[in-house]
Structures are given as C-alpha cells and as structure tokens.
Amino acid sequence: MSQRTIGIVGGGIVGLAVGREIARRHPDDRVVVLEKEDRLGAHQTGHNSGVVHAGIYYRPGSLKARLCTRGRSLLKEFCAEHGIAYDECGKLVVAVDPSEMGRFDALEKTARENGVPGLTRVDAAGIAELEPYATGIAALHSPATAITDYGGVTRALADDIVAAGGTVHLSTEVTGIARRAGAVSVTAGSQTHRVDRLVICAGLQSDRVSRLAGGAAGPRIVPFRGEYMAVVGAKREYVRGMIYPVPDPRYPFLGVHFTRRVTGELEVGPNAFLALSRQRYGRVSITPRDLGDTLAWPGFWRFAGEHWQTGITEVRGVLSKRAYMKDARRYVPAIGAADVRRSGLGLRAQAVDRDGSLVDDFVIDQRDGVTAVRNAPSPAATSSLAIAEHVVDRLELGR
C-alpha cells in the first residue's frame, strides 16, 4: 500500500491523540501536525483541571458516555506506560439541600447506566468519613475518578508521533483549505501542505477552521471563561480528593468544585461566564474579532436572553472572592475567601446552535477527505484516546 499523508490541524490533546492512533495503526502513513501556537496544548489542554472523569454525567448511549468510559481506561494505561502521574483520589458529588434530591437521584441513575466503576451512594456520615471537612445530606462516591498531568500526556503523544516518523509544526496557523484532485491542500503561512486526508481538531477555533474546509456555519463556538482559586496554607489538606455539587442539567458546566492537583495543590473552580476572547488569558481580555463573531451569532442572543440571570451571578464571582466562595463554602464551610488566592483560568470552546441551545455531545463531521471535530468539551481530555480510535475508525471506512 502506498504511503498516505494525514494532516492534523491542532496540537492539543485530541489532535495529537488522533495523530498517534494513525501512526500506531498505519505505520506506513505519515502524520503531519499543524499547530498555530508556539507550544503544544496551549489552550484547553493546558488550562483544564486535570480531572479524569469516570462517566457520571453523560447521557447513556451518547458519544460522551461511550468514549469517556473507554478513554479513561486507555488513558490510565497510557500514563502507566509513559510514567505520567495518575492518582485515583476519588470524587464526591454532594447534595446539600433536599431540593436537590430529584436531580441527585437522576444523576445516580445516569451514572449506574454508564457503568461508573465502584460507584456508591453515601449519607452524611459517609461523606464525613470520606471527606472530614465536607458537609451534605447525600453524595455519590466515585473512587475511579482520577487526576493526571494532561500537559505530560500531550508531550508524550507528540513524542510518539515523532518517533513513528511524523512531524509536528509549531507556530503554523492554517489559513486556507482546498480539495485538489483527490487530495487536500492546506495553506499555513507561506507553506502549502498536500495531504491525503485532513483531521481538524482545532478546539476554540474549530468552527472557523471547519468553515475553511467548506463546513457549515453552525454550530458556532462561543467561548466561556473559567477562573480558579488556589487554597493556601494548611487548609490545602482539608480536601482529600474532589468535591463537586449536583450539576444543573440546563448547563454542560459542572459548577464550582474542589479539585486536587497531581502537584499537591488544591483548587476551587472553575466558574463559567462569557469570554471576550478565544485566546487571551488576562483578567480583562478582549479580541475584537472573537467578540464580533459571538455577537453576530443568533444562537448567542437566544441563549443570553434565556440565561441572563445566571450570567449576573457568575459575574459577581469574578468581581469578588467572597461571592466566588459563597457557593463553595456550602460543601466545605471551613474554606473561605481568606483561604484562597486567584489562580489560573481556562477557556472552554462551547458549541452553540443557531436556536441558542448548547451542544452537549461530541460532534464529528466527515466529508470529502476532511474530518472535523466540531465540538469536544469536557470530558474530551479524558476521552482523547477513545476519540482518536473513533476518528481513525471513520477514516478507515473512507480509505
């Protein structure tokens, strides 16, 4: 079989996982990764909470549910093989008020249908036994939920691609995509790359790059910012694993929570509010083009019109540490505003349909030699190796 060249747009964890999977299955093919930043994992991969999800939240039978379960297993094996930190410190999803119990019961049903390993339901005494400083009336305990170093995973994936004969180009922004006589021509700066197949894993830029290849206008990426607080001093030891609220099913965000890092740090967050830039991480960051694209999308205004009150609540947390920690203290009362400092922040690429609905599941389009990952929010990092299997399966069907 003649050698094919497979292009990958995006040097985050999903794009590199796809490149590695191609190299593993088809060692005669050549993988070329094109990343617009000067480093790998510069955006969502490098700014997430490090959590390896066990599949509690996702609609049974959805891509998220299936690929999260498979991906967690593959990721655990990958970390062991490459000497990357992986700690199954476990997670509690805690109900603190009787009004939450309907959502709590529904969440337990979902988690059990998804086969979350070792899942147990505990009462207030069980919560105190697992997390002595936490409070609540009931919780789901997921002992298989873990934390890892996704930056280390990303670098190891790139190393595997290069070791297999592939190339990774940094500071290489794709500005044009055209189909030419059974191949795909990809323009990046002054260079043109001819590839036999192209896979777009562009994260925060996924809608724009997909449109370069003739993809549909929607869904559109609307970026959301999430800020973290870091717990300081001795109170960093007040949480052993992770403590999460019962999520609001209207949103794909999981609410402010306590998360340990493999470095030993304890973080609170993230919150979720509209970002004015897809690529800048300052406290006040605006990119006119990004803001313009958001405001021009009808789906954003429909979403904002329905959820503006929640947006105001999130902004209060941005302006005030005390307001930020108000909800967090419902779960760990001993940690307050005086015990935290502002830490990092991340940007989430949330796909929004024209009708204003937030796209919940992974979305992967394929046509004419181009496969585009249009929506890959959390648990994309957990699922990355399984997403790669899924994408490469589809590529093989189109050989």
Q: Torsions phi, psi of 165, nearest 5?
A: 100, 5
The residue written with tokens 């003649």 in the block is 2
- Asked whether residue 247 falls in the same domain as residue 308, the answer is yes
- Asked whether residue 29 falls in the same domain as residue 135, the answer is no
Chain CA centroid to CA 89, Å: 20
**Residue 357, pLDDT above cutoff 80:** yes
- Asked whether residue 30 falls in the same domain as residue 175, the answer is yes
- Asked whether residue 352 falls in the same domain as residue 280, the answer is yes
Calpha distance 208→139 (Å, rounded):
41
Count of C-beta atoms within a 10 Å radius of residue 304? 15
**Would you say 70 and 76 are in contact if contact means Cβ atoms under 8 Å apart?**
no
| Mean model confidence pLDDT for the chain | 93
What would the mean pLDDT of 18-32 be, rounded to a whole number?
97
Quote the tokens at residue 265.
């740090």
Count of C-beta atoms within a 10 Å radius of residue 238? 18
Residue 314: C-alpha distances to residues 157, 224, 311 (Å): 36, 11, 5
* 194 found inside a domain: yes
Band of residue 273 on the pLDDT scale cut at 50, 70, 90:
confident
Three-class DSSP category at 175:
strand
Q: Where would I find the beta strands (DSSP E) of 170-301?
A: 174-180, 183-188, 191-195, 197-200, 220-231, 242-245, 257-260, 266-269, 273-274
Quote the tokens at residue 59.
């609609």
Three-class DSSP category at 147:
strand
- Asked whether residue 247 falls in the same domain as residue 380, the answer is no
- Asked whether residue 384 falls in the same domain as residue 303, the answer is no
pLDDT one-digit tens code per residue, 290-346: 999 999 999 999 988 887 566 656 666 666 888 889 989 999 999 999 999 999 899
CATH number of the structural domain spanning residue 342: 3.30.9
Nearest CA among 159, 154, 198, 161 for reference residue 23: 161
What residue spans of 206-271 are helical by DSSP H?
206-212
- Asked whether residue 27 falls in the same domain as residue 159, the answer is yes
Residue 378: C-alpha distances to residues 14, 215, 248, 383 (Å): 11, 23, 15, 9
More confident residue, 269 or 341: 341
| Residue finishing a domain among 118, 143, 168 | 143
* 227 found inside a domain: yes
**Residue 277, pLDDT above cutoff 80:** yes
pLDDT one-digit tens code per residue, 364-385: 999 889 999 999 999 999 999 9
More confident residue, 250 or 88: 88
Identify the pLDDT of residue 312: 57
Calpha distance 278→213 (Å, rounded):
20
Calpha distance 185→196 (Å, rounded):
9
- Asked whether residue 14 falls in the same domain as residue 156, the answer is yes
Band of residue 171 on the pLDDT scale cut at 50, 70, 90:
very high
Q: Torsions phi, psi of 117, nearest 5?
A: -70, 135
Ramachandran category for residue 118: left, alpha or beta (phi over 0 → left; psi -120 to 50 → alpha): left
Calpha distance 344→283 (Å, rounded):
10
* 64 found inside a domain: no
Nearest CA among 336, 1, 341 for reference residue 196: 1
* 277 found inside a domain: yes
* 82 found inside a domain: no
* 208 found inside a domain: yes
Q: Torsions phi, psi of 248, nearest 5?
A: -85, 120
* 130 found inside a domain: yes
- Asked whether residue 244 falls in the same domain as residue 290, the answer is yes
Domains in the chain: how many in total?
A: 3
Band of residue 159 on the pLDDT scale cut at 50, 70, 90:
very high
CATH number of the structural domain spanning residue 392: 3.50.50.60
- pTM here is 0.95
- Asked whether residue 224 falls in the same domain as residue 350, the answer is yes
What would the mean pLDDT of 226-251 be, rounded to a whole number?
92
* 389 found inside a domain: yes
Identify the pLDDT of residue 36: 97
Identify the pLDDT of residue 316: 65
Which H or E run contains 397?
helix 380-397
- Asked whether residue 291 falls in the same domain as residue 324, the answer is yes
Identify the pLDDT of residue 323: 87
- Asked whether residue 173 falls in the same domain as residue 42, the answer is yes
Residue 228 structural domain = 220-358
Burial class (CB in 10 A: 0-12, 13-18, 19+), 341: exposed
